[in-house]
């Protein structure tokens, strides 16, 4: 029944404090103005994408596969021509319908999903690949610095196939960072690592990007990854940005049902506005969207906002329990047949069929008008 809402209040708006700066063209490293990319059967299209990114910021493009997030990344890198709109890098127009500055003149670093380490070059030569205009001595010292920074000392004579997945990723990162790019692009950088390794690399990478103050765009389909890494997250669906906010706002105040569903488990319960409050099967909730009386709405509730109390006279029944180590996720069926989920501590074990009373912490519920069609 008790809840600890302190860290989830809506006043926690770190990055949004400087909203005004963000959209001034001079303050941003990168700016996209209503960018659309040509539709090709093989690539997801993107429509009307606008955002900008400040120096040192880590922005995450989050969405399911096929939502166009990688297309945006490739448009920024200059691999994908834009059909309309403009892309500015350091205040210089680099992409428009009529003009595409070649990738090699953009000074962006990129880490590909499969790293794309040159298999015929040693680690040191891979990292030094983009430094051919420097003297040999300077090149060596830059590579050494980078090896030290990424913890790859001693591996410079190895070939890529002699490295572990995590080491390969760090080489790819070093190769991108060694040229001091104005912007670093990461395309699903953790998807080729096993989960343990991925979470460790995530922490290391985050610390490294902060230390080097690297402006970064990260593409991922994993919301945990986005939450852990990003200052701001842009959630994409079908080639459009559904919401661009801090991770906390994305999770607790999703702008659409799609966002709510994509960034974590959520149940949607129908309700109706009566006398200024939303009446549902689980009780009354405040009418936060100024819905008119009698209007049908949908309430989003996350499993950690629903608490179970065994009560023999209660009608809801536990129909399933999924043990997840740190928590128990219960599936509960309401008398109407509606199913909701509840996250309980790892040690509170109730059997299937147990009658339970549900307590909902109303502070984190989000309302959508019922007319909004659910997005797949």
Partner 1 sequence: MIAIHRLSVSTLQLAVLATAALILLPLGYVTTLALSADPAVWQRLWATRVPELLLNTVSLAGAVALLTLSLGVSTAWMVTRFEFPGRRFWEIALVLPLAMPTYVLAYVYNYLLGFGGPMEQLWQLVAGPQARIFSPQSFWGVTLVMALDTFPFVYLLTRSALLSFNVSFEEVARTCGASPLRTMFRVTLPLLRPSIVAGVALVVLYVVSDFGAVSLLRYQTLTYAVFQQMTGRSDNQAASILSILLVVLALLFLLAERWFRRKSRFYQTTGRYRAPQRIQRGWLHTGLLTACLASVVGLAFGIPTSLLVMWSFSQEALAILDARFFGFVWNSALLSSLAATAAVLVGLPLAYLASRKPTWLNLGCLQAAYAGYVLPGPVAALAVLVLFLNIMPFFYGTVLVLIVAYVLHFLPAGLQSLEPSIQQITPNVEEVARTLGLGVRETWRRVTLPLIRNGVIVAWVLIFLQTMKELPATLLLRPVGFDTLAIRVWLEASEEYYQLAAPSALLIVLVGLPALFLLLSRDWRAA
Residue from 107, 206, 238, 359 in contact with partner 1 (CB under 8 A): 107
- The binding track of 114-143 with respect to partner 1, each residue x by CB under 8 A or -, is x-x-xxx--------xx-x-----------
23 lines the binding site for partner 1 (CB under 8 A): no
* Minimum distance from residue 309 beta carbon to partner 1 (Å): 48
Measured between alpha carbons, how far is residue 69 from residues 55, 111, 192 in Å?
Answer: 21, 15, 18
Between β-strands 296-301 and 306-310, what pairing exists: parallel, antiparallel or unpaired? unpaired
The answer to whether the beta carbons of residues 45 and 71 sit under 8 Å apart is: yes
113 lines the binding site for partner 1 (CB under 8 A): yes
110 lines the binding site for partner 1 (CB under 8 A): yes
Token pair, residue 230, equals 């990003």
- The binding track of 202-241 with respect to partner 1, each residue x by CB under 8 A or -, is ----------------------------------------
Residues 6+ apart with CB under 8 A from 348: 308, 328
* Minimum distance from residue 118 beta carbon to partner 1 (Å): 6
For partner 1, the closer CB: 177 or 233: 177
> How many Cβ atoms are within 10 Å of 226's Cβ, its own excluded?
26
Q: Which stretch binds partner 1 (CB under 8 A): 85-93, 147-155, 170-178, 359-367?
A: 170-178
268 lines the binding site for partner 1 (CB under 8 A): no
| Ranges within 61-80 binding partner 1 (CB under 8 A) | 77-79
The binding site for partner 1 (CB under 8 A) comprises: 77-79, 102-110, 112-114, 116, 118-120, 129-130, 132, 159-161, 172, 175-176, 179, 181, 185, 192
């Amino acid at each position: 029944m008790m809840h600890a809402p302190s860290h989830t209040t809506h006043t926690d708006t770190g990055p949004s404090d400087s909203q005004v700066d963000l959209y001034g063209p001079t303050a941003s490293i990168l700016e996209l103005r209503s960018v659309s990319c040509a539709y090709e059967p093989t690539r997801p299209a993107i429509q009307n994408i606008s955002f900008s990114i400040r120096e040192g910021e880590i922005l995450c493009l989050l969405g399911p596969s096929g939502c166009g997030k990688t297309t945006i990344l490739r448009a920024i890198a200059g691999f994908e021509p834009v059909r309309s709109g403009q892309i500015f890098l350091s205040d210089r127009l680099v992409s428009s319908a009529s003009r595409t500055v070649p990738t090699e003149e953009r000074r962006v670093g990129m880490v590909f999903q499969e790293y794309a380490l040159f298999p015929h070059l040693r680690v040191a030569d891979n990292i030094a690949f983009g430094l051919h205009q420097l003297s040999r001595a300077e090149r060596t010292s830059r590579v050494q610095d980078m090896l030290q920074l990424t913890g790859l000392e001693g591996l410079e004579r190895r070939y890529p196939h002699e490295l572990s997945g995590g080491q390969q990723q760090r080489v790819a990162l070093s190769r991108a960072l060694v040229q001091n790019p104005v912007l670093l692009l990461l395309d699903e950088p953790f998807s080729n690592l096993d989960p343990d390794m991925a979470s460790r690399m995530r922490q290391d990478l985050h610390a490294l990007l902060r230390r080097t103050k690297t402006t970064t765009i990260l593409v991922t389909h994993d919301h945990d990854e986005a939450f852990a890494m990003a200052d701001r997250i842009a959630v994409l669906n079908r080639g459009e940005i559904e919401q661009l906010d801090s991770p906390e706002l994305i999770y607790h105040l999703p702008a659409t049902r799609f966002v709510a569903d994509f960034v974590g488990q959520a149940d949607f319960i129908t309700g109706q506005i009566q006398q200024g409050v939303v009446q549902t099967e689980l009780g009354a909730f405040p009418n936060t969207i100024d819905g008119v009386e009698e209007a049908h709405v949908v309430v989003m509730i996350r499993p950690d906002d629903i608490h179970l109390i065994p009560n023999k006279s209660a009608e809801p029944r536990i129909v399933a329990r999924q043990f997840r180590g740190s928590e128990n996720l219960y599936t509960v069926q309401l008398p109407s047949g509606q199913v909701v989920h509840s996250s309980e501590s790892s040690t509170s074990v109730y059997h299937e069929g147990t009658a339970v009373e549900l307590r909902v912490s109303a502070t984190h519920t989000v309302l959508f008008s019922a007319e909004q069609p659910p997005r797949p």
